[in-house]
Amino acid sequence: MREEDVPAPGAANGSSRLDELLIEAVVSCGAHIGAAYLLDDTGQILQMAAEVGLPAPIARAWSRVRTRDPVPIAVAVHERRLIWISGREHLAREFPAAALALPYPFAAVLSPICAGGEVQGGFMLLWPAGQSSELGRRQRDIVDRACATIGELVREAGLRGRPIKAGAQPRLLGPRPVRPTDPRADLVALECLNRLPEGYCMLDVEGRATLVSAPAADLLGVTPSTLLGRRLWEVLPWLADPAYEDRYRAAIIARQTTRFATRGPAGRQLSFCLFPGLTGITLRITPGAVSPGSSPDPVTGGDPTLQVIAVHDVLLLATALARAVTAQEVLDLVADHVMPVYNVQALAILTSKGGRLRVAASRGYSRRAIDEFDGRPVIPVAPTGRPFNPGKPAFFSNWDQLRAAYPDAIRSDDMCAWAFLPLVTSGRPIGTCILAYDRPHRFSTQERATLTALTGLIAQAFERARLYDVKHQVAQCLQSSLLPHELPQIPGLDVAARYVPATPGMDIGGDFYDLIRLSDTMAAAVIGDVQGHDVTAAALMGQVRTAIRAHATAGGSAGDVLAHTNRLLVELAPDRFTSCLYVCFDLRRHTACVSSAGHLPPVLGRPGAPARVIDTAPGLLLGIDPEAEYATTTLPMEPGAVMTLYTDGLIEEPGLDLGDAIAALAGRFAPAPGQPLHDLAETLIEPATIERRTDDIAVLLLRDTFTEP
C-alpha cells in the first residue's frame, strides 16, 4: 500500500463505522447487496468506499461514477432525490445503459448521502426483483436514517481534519458478522454431501470454492484440493465462458436460481444449477442435460447462452449507433444487430406530424404495409379505462391480444406478434419502434427488458440523427442560397462552375466561388473555403463574398482586395479563418493577376501544352493578422487557355500528400480546343464523387476567348 493510501487513525475509525452502518442497513432492510459511495475532492466523481454482496469484478466496474452519468446512483446524487427501481423493465425504461451493463432482474433503492446541506456521497441497496413493487415505509426509514448517519459521520470527520475517503478499490465486506464455526461441522457437512450421487460445491460471493464434495470433483475431473480457494472457471478452462460466468453473476445479483448445461473435456454432458444464498452460491452438478420438462431459467426465461449473446450484441449496437447520422442508418443498424438474435421479421420507426403517423424508416415491411401505417391517427382507439400511453412499451404475443387491446389496429403483411417500443428522450416521446414477427411469439421477462433498454439507445441515436439532419439541411440550404445561382455572361470569357455538397450525413462545408464583372473587358474570379463545418461557416461565407465584391468593384488590385477583406474578417470573426484565391482577368491584354490567401494554387491548361500549376506565393489565411499583405502574380492568358480554381474537396485523399494531389490534378487536366467547359468540369469532379466525401467540392473553370471587335 502506498503511503498516501494509508488513512489517518481517525479516518480508519470513521471508515469502520461507515462499514458497520452499511452492513446494518443491508441486514435490517432484508437486502442482499449494498454499497456506499463518497464524493471525491472535485465533487464530480462518486467513489465506492465499501460494498456488501457484489463480486469484486462488478464492484470494480462501478467503483467510480461521474455525477453526470446517466446511471441511477449518479442521478440520485446529482438531483438529490431517492430513486426506486422496481425491476429490470423499470431500469431499462429509465436507465437503458445501466440495464445493459447489469442485465439481471433486481430491485434497488438509490439515495444521496447528505449532511449540513451538502451532498457527501450516495447509498445503494439491492433486492431480488418481484418481492415488492414499491419501497416499504420501514425500509425507507432505514435508508434515510443510514444516509443521515453516514452523512454526519463524513461531515464531522472532515471538520476534524480527518476526512473519510474511498480507497483505490472498494472495501469488500461480509453481509453480516459470522460466528466462527466448528471445523468438525464442515467435515460432517462434507461427509453428508459425499453420500449423494450428484456433486455439490460451495462458492463464496467472489466465485471461489469453499467446499467441494467428492462426487463434484469426480464429475469435474479434478481433485477437491485443486478447486478449493479458486474460481471454477479459472481452474477448468472449459467453464471459462462468458455465458457461464454470467449465470453466476445473475444468481448473485438477482438472488434467483440459475442453470446451464455444457460438456466436459471428455465430452460428458453436465448440468449445473446455482442456488444463491446470503454468503454465496451452492452449486449442484449432475450428469446429463437439463431435462426438457424442467422450468426455464427464471432470470432469463430461456437459453442463458443466447441471452448473453443478445446482451453483448446490443452493446456492440450501442457503439455502432454512435456513428449513425440518418434515421434509415439507425434502423439499418438496429435491424442488422437485433433481427437475427430475436428472429424479428420486420422493423419500423414511426414518428408523428400533425397528429398523424409517419414512417421514418423501415426494414422488412412491404410497400403496402408502409402505406397503411402512413397517415393513421397517432392515438389509437382503446377500450375504456385503458388510455393509450405513448411512453410505455407494449408486447402482444398474437393477433388476438393486439385486437383485444386495440380494436382499431391493423394487421400488415400477416404478422402475428408485435413489440411497440416507445422512443423517449428527455422525458418526451419522439416516436415508436415496431418489431414484428411472422408467427406468435411469447416475450420472456429478459427479452422485454432487453428490448426496452434497446429503445433507449435507439431513441438517443434517432433523435441525434434527426437533429443533425435538420441542422445539415439548414446549413446546406443556407450555403446553397448564398452561392450564385447563375454566373454573369461576359463576352470573351467562357465560364463553368460546379458545386457538389459533401455526402449526406457528413458535415457541411464553407466552400464558395463567384464571378464579378468589373468592366466590358475585365472580370474577377473568386474561390475560397471558410474554416468550420456548420451554419456559422456557411453564414460567414456569405459575408466574405459580399466583402470581396465590394472591394473588387471599387477598383482595387488583387492583393488590395484580399487585404481589405482580411481586415474586415479579423473584426467579424477573429476565431474563424478563410482561404481565398482572387484572380483578375484583363481580357483585352490576355493577362491574369493572381493573389492567394493560403488557398490551393490554380492549374492552367494551354492548347498543345501540358497543364501547369501556377506559383501564387500564398499569403496568410484571411482573419489572422489585420496587417497581412498579399502579393500579386501576373501571368499571360493566351486565347484558348483554361484556368481551373478549386477547393480541397476535389483533390483530398487519405494518406496522399497535398503536393502530389495537386500534381495529379494537373496531370489529368487536358482541356481540348472547343471542349465545353461544363463537360470538362464533370470530368474533373467525377473521380472525387465516387466515394463518400467528408468535404464539399467547388470548381470554377475560365477560358479566355476574347478577340478584338
- 237-244 average pLDDT score: 81
pLDDT at residue 174 in the model: 67
Q: Residue 505: what pLDDT? A: 44
Q: Are 613 and 678 in contact (CB under 8 A)?
A: no
Percentage of the residues of the chain whose pLDDT score is greater than 70: 82
- HEC per residue, 625-682: CCCCCCCCEEEECCCCCEEEEECHHHCCCCCCCHHHHHHHHHHHCCCCCCCCHHHHHH
Asked if 108 contacts 87 with a C-beta cutoff of 8 angstroms, the reply is no
Phi–psi pair at 47, nearest 5 degrees: -115, 130
- Range in 6-15, 96-105, 400-409, 698-707 the model is least confident about: 6-15
Q: Given a cut of 60, is residue 4 above it in pLDDT?
A: no
Using CA atoms in the order 20, 22, 25, 28, what is the torsion angle rounded to 10 degrees?
-50
Identify which of 414-428, 626-640, 691-705 has the greatest average pLDDT.
626-640
What number is the average pLDDT over the span 53-66?
A: 83
User: Between these two residues, 281 and 96, which has the higher pLDDT value?
Assistant: 281
Global model pTM greater than 0.85:
no
Kindly report the three-state secondary structure assignment for every residue of 433-470. Answer: EEEEECCCCCCCHHHHHHHHHHHHHHHHHHHHHHHHHH
The band of 300, judged by pLDDT with boundaries at 50, 70 and 90, is: very low
Residues 6 or more apart whose CB falls under 8 angstroms from that of 146 comprise 21, 22, 24, 25, 123
Say which range, 60-74, 327-341, 694-708, has the weakest mean pLDDT. Answer: 327-341
pLDDT band at 38 (very low <50, low <70, confident <90, very high): very high
DSSP-derived 3-state class of residue 687: helix
Q: How many CB atoms lie within 10 A of CB 460?
A: 22
The residue among 137 and 476 whose pLDDT is bigger is 137
Question: What pLDDT, on the 0 to 100 scale, is given for residue 184?
Answer: 53
Distance (Å) of CA 33 to CA 172, 446, 453, 500, 637: 11, 21, 23, 59, 83
Q: Distance (Å, rounded) from C-alpha 677 to C-alpha 661?
A: 22
CB atoms within 10 A of CB 364: 17
| pLDDT in the model for residue 50 | 92
**Per-residue model confidence (pLDDT) at position 451:** 82
Question: What is the chain's mean pLDDT, rounded?
Answer: 81
Per-residue pLDDT band for 151 (boundaries 50, 70, 90) equals very high
- What would the grid cell of residue 420 be? 411497440
- Least confident stretch, 175-184, 315-324, 548-557, 682-691: 175-184
Q: Which of 278-282, 304-308, 428-432, 617-621 is predicted with the least confidence, judged by mean pLDDT?
A: 304-308
Average pLDDT of the residues in 301-314: 47
Q: Between these two residues, 647 and 341, which has the higher pLDDT value?
A: 647
Q: What is the b/e burial string over 376-415, where b = at least 16 CB atoms within 10 angstroms of the residue's CB?
A: eebeeeeeeeeeeebeebbbbbbbeebeeebeebeebeeb
Give the side-chain half-sphere CA count within 13 A for 480. Answer: 12
Is the predicted pLDDT of residue 446 greater than 60, yes or no? yes
Q: Which amino acid would we find at residue 366?
A: S
Helix ranges (DSSP H) in 62-179: 72-78, 88-94, 96-101, 137-159
With 0-12 / 13-18 / 19 or more C-beta atoms within 10 angstroms meaning exposed / middle / buried, residue 298 is middle
Degrees to nearest 5, angle at CA 38 with 33 and 42: 150
Q: Output phi, psi for 19, to 5 deg.
A: -60, -40
Phi, then psi, of 370 in degrees rounded to 5:
-65, -40
Cell of 510: 464553407
- Distance between CA atoms of 195 and 197, rounded to whole angstroms? 7
* Residue recorded with cell 453420500: 195
Does residue 202 carry a pLDDT above 80? yes
**What is the model's pLDDT at position 562?**
94
> Which cell is 594 given?
493572381
C-alpha cell at 214: 467428492
| pLDDT tens for each residue of 516-565 | 999 989 999 999 988 766 667 767 777 888 889 888 988 889 999 999 99
Each residue's pLDDT tens digit, 378-437: 545 444 445 456 678 889 999 999 888 888 888 889 999 999 988 887 777 888 889 999
In this prediction, residue 305 carries a pLDDT of: 42
Average pLDDT (597-608) is 90
Residue whose C-alpha is closest to residue 190's, from 178, 202, 179: 202
The mean per-residue pLDDT over the stretch 65-78 comes to 89
Rounded distance between C-alpha atoms, residue 452 and residue 464, angstroms: 19
Q: Which residues contact 221 (CB under 8 A, 6 or more apart)?
A: 264, 265, 266
Distances 641 to 584, 587, 702 between C-alpha atoms, Å:
15, 12, 8
Contact at 8 Å (CB) between 146 and 22?
yes
For 253-288, the DSSP string reads HH-S-EEEEEE-TTS-EEEEEEEE-SSEEEEEEEES
Write the burial class of residue 97 (CB in 10 Å: 0-12 exposed, 13-18 middle, 19+ buried). Answer: middle
Neighbours of 435 (CB within 10 A): 27
pLDDT score of 508: 55
Surface-to-core class of residue 78, CB atoms within 10 Å of its CB (0-12 exposed, 13-18 middle, 19+ buried): middle
Which letter, b or e, does each residue of 272-297 get, where b requires 16 or more Cβ atoms within 10 Å of its Cβ?
Answer: bbbebeeebbbbbbbeeebeeeeeeb
Mean pLDDT across 179-206:
71
Under the phi-then-psi rule, with left for phi > 0, alpha for psi from -120 to 50, and beta for the rest, what region is 80?
A: left
Q: What is the DSSP string of 170-232?
A: -EEE-SS--PPPPHHHHHHHHHHHHTSSSEEEEEETTSBEEEE-HHHHHHHTS-HHHHBTSBH
| Residue 314, pLDDT score | 56
According to DSSP, residue 392 is labeled S
**What would the pLDDT profile of 9-29 be if each residue is shown by its tens digit?**
455 677 888 999 999 999 888
Please work out, in degrees rounded to the nearest 5, the angle formed at the alpha carbon of residue 272 by the alpha carbons of 266 and 274: 155
Contact 254, 105 (CB under 8 A): yes
Cα–Cα distance measured from residue 233 to residue 306, given in angstroms and rounded to the nearest whole number? 19
Strand order in the sheet with 394-396: 356-363, 346-353, 428-437, 417-425, 394-396
The answer to whether residue 252 scores a pLDDT higher than 80 is yes
What angle (nearest 5°) sits at the alpha carbon of residue 576, between those of residues 572 and 582? 85
